[in-house]
A = this chain, B = another copy of it.
């Protein structure tokens, strides 16, 4: 049996209530008895029981991380572990615990979230994705359970604390960067257009092109899923692109493979800039110019603001923008 508050109380010759107050460092207790009690806690190796504290306090010091519906591809995208690393950093430092919620379907996910909340296992959630109409977000909102979103929420926007990049501006910045290298014909190859982040990036690209008065033929935008034929069509557009923006490093890897199959060399014939700056951007051949969106910080800030909200419900809604920066490597060059 582990040592309890009673054992400490007995050895320190005080009531358990006093020990409890020492644990909380209550100002009501004299320094003298605090010191005595602490000595005994140390001597006995006492740690307060988590379940008992949770039961008495009605908080769990635990947060849930809601993953998108489980899919190999999503898990293999390093976005997830890197944001988790950021979340974990903050959470661990503040003695919270982190629970991952996964599910094969959104119904399964919802029922797990509901169960965890109703059984009082977590105090709040970080939602690691954002989509148009999400029954989980609706549930959290309705039950007034604290949550923060990584990405741009699609529902209850003004009431939802979220952490995101300015993906629209990032795409514009990439266009500016490329025009600075004298590129005038810039194409965009994008990932899943269900995801808000991709929609934003595409929009930023389109607006930047328009504002710069650059040509934007239909063929310049290629969406996933695409194949070798689509890529060939893109390269044969009139005028043909000299640069290409790709929505994600993993997609960039797929695109590059097609380019080399089509005999197009990078960056000599085509410059490429991508997003996310994953480790593999550096490993690619040539190394990829990519927009670093600081995924770690997205996670870190999401955890921070969630826990602030949990500990003080009056905390205001926040929209936190994590800065991006273009990391220049060899896949892009002056025209």
Q: Which residue of B lies closest to A279 (CB)?
A: B76
**A98 nearest in chain B by CB position:** B100
Contact: B45 with A49, CB < 8 Å?
no
The interface stretch among A118-126, A195-203, A238-246 is A118-126
- In Å, the complex CA distance between A127 and B63 comes to 21
Which residue on chain B has the smallest CB distance to residue A50?
B119
Instruction: Tell me if A112 counts as interface (CB < 8 A to partner B).
Output: yes
Q: Which residue of B lies closest to A282 (CB)?
A: B254
Q: Report if A75 contacts B (CB, 8 A).
A: yes
A92 proximal to B (CB < 8 A) = yes
Residues on B with beta carbons closer than 8 Å to the beta carbon of A32: none
Cα-based distance from A76 to B85 in the complex (angstroms) = 10
A285, closest chain B residue (CB): B257
How far apart are the CA atoms of A121 and B82 in the complex, in Å?
25
Chain A binding site: helix, strand, loop or mixed by DSSP?
A: helix
Select the residue from A2, A80, A89, A100 with max chain B CB neighbours within 10 A. Answer: A100
**Residues 47-101 of A contacting B (Cβ, < 8 Å):** 47-52, 54-55, 60, 62, 70, 72-73, 75-76, 78, 80-82, 84-85, 88-89, 92, 95, 97-101
Number of copies: 2
A253 CA / B51 CA spacing, docked (Å): 47
**CA A261 – CA B283 in complex, angstroms?**
13
A95 and B81 alpha carbons, distance in the complex (Å) = 23
For A256, give the chain B residue with the smallest CB separation: B285
The CA of A73 and the CA of B84, in the complex, are separated in Å by 14
The CA-CA distance from A102 to B48 in the complex, in Å, is 22
Max chain B C-beta neighbours (<10 A), residue from A48, A102, A254: A102
Q: Contacts A85-B70, A85-B72: A254 and B278 contacting too (C-beta < 8 A)?
A: no
Closest B residue to A104 by CB, please name it: B89
Q: Which residues of B contact A50 (CB under 8 A)?
A: 54, 60, 119-121
Quick one: which of A120-137 are within 8 Å of B by CB? 120-121
Residues of B near A92 (CB, < 8 A) are 101-103, 112
Interface: A284 (CB within 8 A):
yes
Contact A118 B55 (CB under 8 A): no
Q: Which residues of B contact A115 (CB under 8 A)?
A: 47, 95
Name the contact of A100 in the complex, choosing from B49, B82, B84 (C-beta under 8 A).
B84
**A72 close to B279 (CB less than 8 A):** yes
Question: Closest CB-CB distance, A73 to chain B, in whole Å?
Answer: 7
Residues of B within 8 A of A121 (CB): 50, 97
Closest 3 CB pairs of A and B: A51-B54, A47-B118, A51-B55
Beyond known contacts A51-B51, A97-B116: 9 more, CB 8 A cutoff? A54-B54, A70-B88, A72-B82, A72-B85, A76-B278, A97-B121, A99-B99, A257-B283, A260-B285
